[in-house]
Structure 1
Amino acid sequence: MRVVAGTVRNHQLKAVPGDKTRPTTDKIKESMFNIIGPYFDGGKALDLFAGSGGLGIEALSRGIDETVFVDQAAPAIKIITENVAKCHLEKQAVIKKGEALRTIDQLAQSGDTFKLIFLDPPYRFHQMEALLNKIETLKLVSEQSIIVVEHEKTYELPDVIGGFSRFKQALYGITSLSFYEVGE
């Protein structure tokens, strides 16, 4: 697993030990960023269910100003911290240990909004519609925000969830990526 492009391209990233975390493959990550835009001109990203932090680090490497990494597992937080340090991105990273729904409440209280949100929960997580509705209610997005949901292919998501519309879906084996934007 590595950073695919940008300022820290080819830096190798550690994966979280064990089988509870499923890192996004380099192939899927590269395809994802080709769809949402290969490079960014600033903004903030949220890597919820961050695991190893690979998606948020990739966004930083490609021009996002700051990424907030959230995971509830202590081993994941340790690996995110190590990966961020290895890439020398500590000043652009905020790492929070906590359960996703509670942590986004805290982020909303501080007035944060995100240009990019990555949602890559464990495949057994089937509350994506509720999570997206909560993100909208908490006003964590702007009109130009993109939300990328990585989920099991068999877990069907609707084309419209609250104020978000899916503009693309891509399948990679058992993995599906659903791309949502604000409005139609």
Structure 2
Amino acid sequence: MNDMRRAAPGRIRIIGGSLRNSRLEVPNLPGLRPTAERVRETLFNWLAPVIDGARCLDLCAGTGALGIEALSRGAAAVQFVERDARAAQALRANLARLKADGGQVAALEAEAFLRGTAQPCDVVFLDPPFALELWPALARQLEQGGWLAARAWIYVESPRGPAPALPPNWQLHREGQAGEVRFALYRRALPLS
């Protein structure tokens, strides 16, 4: 299987850290689009200097592969947000089975979650369903709602092509493409007053 393709349901594995080679049970749900192993490997190579001890937010978590990979690599805590109840339940089951401490799952729409009480995060994974085009709205809520630490890192996964509209103080650090997917890591700069 080409490592740039998406993994089949039930076939996702954690690629690094304390949970390396652990398999995630993934429900077969319409629109569920796990981040490819090769993309995760590249992303976590980029994040290696900052992931240990980080507080993370996996928004639109889906399988939770990004957040679980972060926990495996030493993140202190990951808040998973997933609107689909079946995906959220599968994510809870995977966290329990892997004994992945530090993960909490909220079964809510991302927009509703971000209207709650903010806890600033060091790393945010922003990978909403492509068809919903939620990047600008969610990015605005993250930026304005107090969800981002002063120099937070934000991972954005979107369709190949132009980048989605994001806050001007999110500075592109690195980017790549895999098939029809654009993946990019941004660093937050403090907004100008």
After TM superposition, the structure 1 = structure 2 runs for residues 166-177 of structure 1, keeping only pairs within 5 Å, are 166-177=172-183
From the superposition, tell whether residues 83 and 61 of structure 1 become closer, same or farther in structure 2 (CA, over 3 Å).
Answer: same
Distance (whole Å) between structure 1 residues aligned to residue 117 and residue 26 of structure 2 = 26
Instruction: Find the partner of 1:163 among 165, 169, 181.
Output: 169
Give yes or no for contact 2:57–2:121 (8 Å, CA) kept in 1: yes
Distance (whole Å) between structure 1 residues aligned to residue 149 and residue 163 of structure 2 = 25
Give yes or no for contact 2:143–2:167 (8 Å, CA) kept in 1: no
CA deviation after TM superposition for structure 1 residue 155, in Å: 5.1
1:56 aligns to 2:62 (yes or no): no
Distance (whole Å) between structure 2 residues aligned to residue 33 and residue 96 of structure 1 = 24
From the superposition, tell whether residues 40 and 100 of structure 1 become closer, same or farther in structure 2 (CA, over 3 Å).
Answer: same
Q: Deviations over 1:102-134 (max 9, x none)?
A: 1012142xxx11111001111112231222122
2:7 matched residue in structure 1: none
Instruction: Find the partner of 1:40 among 11, 35, 51.
Output: 51
1:147 matched residue in structure 2: 154
Return the TM-score normalized by structure 1: 0.90
Return the TM-score normalized by structure 2: 0.86
Instruction: Supply the AA of the counterpart residue of 2:188.
Output: V
Tell me the C-alpha RMSD between the 2 structures.
1.7
2:103 matched residue in structure 1: 93
Structure 1 moving runs of 4+ over 6 Å: none
Give yes or no for contact 1:164–1:182 (8 Å, CA) kept in 2: yes
From the superposition, tell whether residues 22 and 123 of structure 1 become closer, same or farther in structure 2 (CA, over 3 Å).
Answer: same
Distance (whole Å) between structure 1 residues aligned to residue 29 and residue 147 of structure 2 = 32
SS at match of 2:131: coil
Distance (whole Å) between structure 1 residues aligned to residue 37 and residue 129 of structure 2 = 18
1:115 aligns to 2:125 (yes or no): no
Give yes or no for contact 1:52–1:83 (8 Å, CA) kept in 2: no
Unaligned runs of 5+ in 2: 1-11
Tell me which moved more, 147-156 or 38-47: 38-47
| Number of equivalences | 179
2:144 matched residue in structure 1: 137
Give yes or no for contact 2:67–2:78 (8 Å, CA) kept in 1: yes
2:87 matched residue in structure 1: 76
Distance (whole Å) between structure 2 residues aligned to residue 156 and residue 56 of structure 1 = 23
Q: Deviations over 1:48-78 (max 9, x none)?
A: 1111111100000001011000011011111
Q: Deviations over 1:24-47 (max 9, x none)?
A: 111111111112226633121100
Distance (whole Å) between structure 1 residues aligned to residue 49 and residue 41 of structure 2 = 9
SS at match of 1:7: helix
CA deviation after TM superposition for structure 1 residue 154, in Å: 3.3
Q: Deviations over 1:78-110 (max 9, x none)?
A: 110111112101x411110101011012142xx
1:125 matched residue in structure 2: 132
